[in-house]
Amino acid sequence: MQVGHRIAAKRVARRLTQRQLAETAHVSLSTLRKVEQGSRPATDRVLESIADALGVEPEALTGRRARTDSRVHVAVPEIRSAIDSYDIPDDGPVRPLDQLREATDIAMRRRLTSQYTRLAEELPPLLVELSRSVFEGRRDRRSAARILTAAYRSADAVAYKYGYYDLSARLIELMRRTAQFAEDPALIATTAYVRTEVFFASGQSLAHGLKALEIALDDMPTLHSAELQAAAGALHMRAAVVAARSTKDFAAVNDHLGEARRLARKVPEGIYNGTAFGPASLHVHEVSVAVELGEAARAVELASGGKDAHRKVRLDALPTERRSHYYVDLARAQMWLGMRDEAFASLQAARQVAPQHVREHPFVRDALITLLRLHVSPPHPLVAYAEWARAI
């Protein structure tokens, strides 16, 4: 079905009717219709003929087209190499901790603003240097471990966003192990938050992901600081999303959202151990929960600050990556409600704030394909966006 939808989207983008494409590709109109509807698979010969008629490679229609952001992918093997010998790093210089902390903070800001290309290129030497600081028995190992944990998280962002899920899982395990050296409960809780990516990637074990989050919450000490309160609040926000997606357990969703609201009233919006938490972050997650529950109208209402919705918050207080997530989720809800123009506007907003993140987002491509198929003569900006995102 996905192949058929891509063919239909590409055909519409080229402003061809089904009859015109069928004639150019030398396939029957009936065959093309069935392929586009997903009721008949395209044979290799038919796919090649259609691709040739559309002026694309067959891989562009099957979704197996190679990624094009080559600078990120070139850097990934170097990240792998940096962590392969994490506990036995090569000899070399090690800067003072304050300089390493500053470099890691820069990496974190690149992550939060979705600057993945520069992040991927700068991380490998930093990871090696931090490994030396932790594993060569230097003084203040706890502080060095805390910094290395943050650097691993930035590396994981690159791996996860670009589909290297095996590398992402390895980095998350290194995060968890290194956080233990730091002996910081807020940092340990943050690693549990990030660990959920493993379950999102598999798509089949989200119940285990929810259990892991709840165990992490149970293990937290008394929330006597803003940092601990923010860590617990972030875990509750993510647990609400996971519960909504996996079990549709309304009681669990409401319990976790309720705890997140209570904690969001105690701490200002900010970045705590690399994770955004506060009233604005809570608002974004409430919209996400509504989408995961299939409550599209509720999601749009929350986003607009309308009836029964929370006071509309300032999204500019959030990192660009989280803002782009918000607009993508809003576009999903708007699509379900048939709000095509509004959905495309939301996708455009997401691209404006975090283009590298949006270009790798699978829903964005699916949404663009659907929007194209719904047009007889799609507007040029929609076609241009779909081509930029490699949806067609």
Give me the percent of the chain exceeding a pLDDT of 90. Answer: 72
Tens digit of pLDDT for each residue in 86-126? Answer: 999 988 999 999 999 999 999 999 999 999 999 999 999 99
- HEC assignment per residue over 297-354: HHHHHHHHCCCCCCCCCCHHHCCHHHHHHHHHHHHHHHHHCCCHHHHHHHHHHHHHHC
3-state secondary structure of 294: coil
Signed CA dihedral, 275, 279, 280, 281: sign only: positive
The boundaries of every CATH 1.10.260.40 domain in the chain are 2-62
| pTM confidence score | 0.87
**Secondary-structure class of domain 2-62 per CATH:** mainly alpha
pLDDT score of 68? 55
Tens digit of pLDDT for each residue in 224-270? Answer: 999 999 999 999 999 999 999 988 889 999 999 999 999 999 999 99
> What number is the average pLDDT over the span 201-211?
84
Would you tell me how many other CB atoms lie within 10 Å of the CB of residue 171? Answer: 28
Mean pLDDT for all residues in the chain: 91
Tens digit of pLDDT for each residue in 132-149? Answer: 999 876 668 899 999 999
